[in-house]
Chains A and B, each alone.
Chain A
Amino acid sequence: MSFSVKKEGEVVVVDVEGQLIVGNRQELKQKVLDELERGEKKFLIDFSQTGYIDSSGLGVLVSLSKKIREQGGELRLANLNDDLKTLFELTKLDTLFQIADTRERALQSF
């Protein structure tokens, strides 16, 4: 499991490869916070290569969303498969995040 960070135009895009769970959530958090400290404002987290997410992974997403907003930035999520969508619906986090079906749509939505 790992996170790859790249820049697409003005947007920092993070791909979550594998699981986003208690054992690696801090790594994702730190990578995004580092970019935020560098002054980046637009963030997209892409889940097309993600297996499953646990409650602490969801917690990190909630925390990052707040921190990005506090800095005047925006966070989008993209490419949730049906199981991940169900997870977001069960926790009602689909109401808290801006979620796009594809990476392209997410990038266009900024």
Chain B
Amino acid sequence: MPRTERHGRSPDGRVRVVDVEIPNDVRYIERVVELVRRECQVMAYGQRQLMLNVPVALTEALSNAILRGNRDDPAKHVHVRAEVDAERLVVEVGDEGAGFDLEASLIDPTTPENIGREDGRGLFLMRKLMDRVERLEAPHGSVVRMTLHRE
């Protein structure tokens, strides 16, 4: 079970919030994705966004945080905060690692020399499926923020 879990609406009812902290374990990914996806569904996001953009990009961000940021360390945690309103989803995924350079991590997995590689598609998909992906400075780790405008 996630260590903390809060979700609900902002006082004015226009923003829906998911705020969870999960153990550093990839088995929690689906549950977090479902929480965020449900809030997007309530806000009438498009079917493709609900079935492709949100789940895939968020799964990538979570597995990066768990396996790379926190180096698969079971003692660590991942914090997810999503704010969804009628215009956009902003989701932040924070880990306890040193972070990575989003620009330096950019490889094109679709080129003939890379297409047969097993890895290297995670950040590419986050960028393709979200309108904006950015890394934020955080006092005790690294945060990736993704923004998607409602279709």
A interface residues, Cβ below 8 angstroms from B: 1, 19, 21-23, 51-56, 58-60, 62-63, 66, 82-83, 86-87, 90-93, 95-96
Closest chain A CB from B39 CB (angstroms): 17
Closest chain B CB from A47 CB (angstroms): 13
Select from chain B the residue with minimum beta-carbon distance to A52: B55
Closest chain B CB from A61 CB (angstroms): 9
B interface residues, Cβ below 8 angstroms from A: 26-27, 29-30, 48, 51-52, 55-56, 59-60, 63, 67, 109-110, 115-122, 124-125, 128-129
Alpha-carbon separation in the docked complex, A86 to B125 (Å): 11
Closest chain B CB from A100 CB (angstroms): 20
Alpha-carbon separation in the docked complex, A2 to B53 (Å): 23
Q: Contacts A21-B29, A51-B51, A55-B60: A93 and B115 contacting too (C-beta < 8 A)?
A: yes
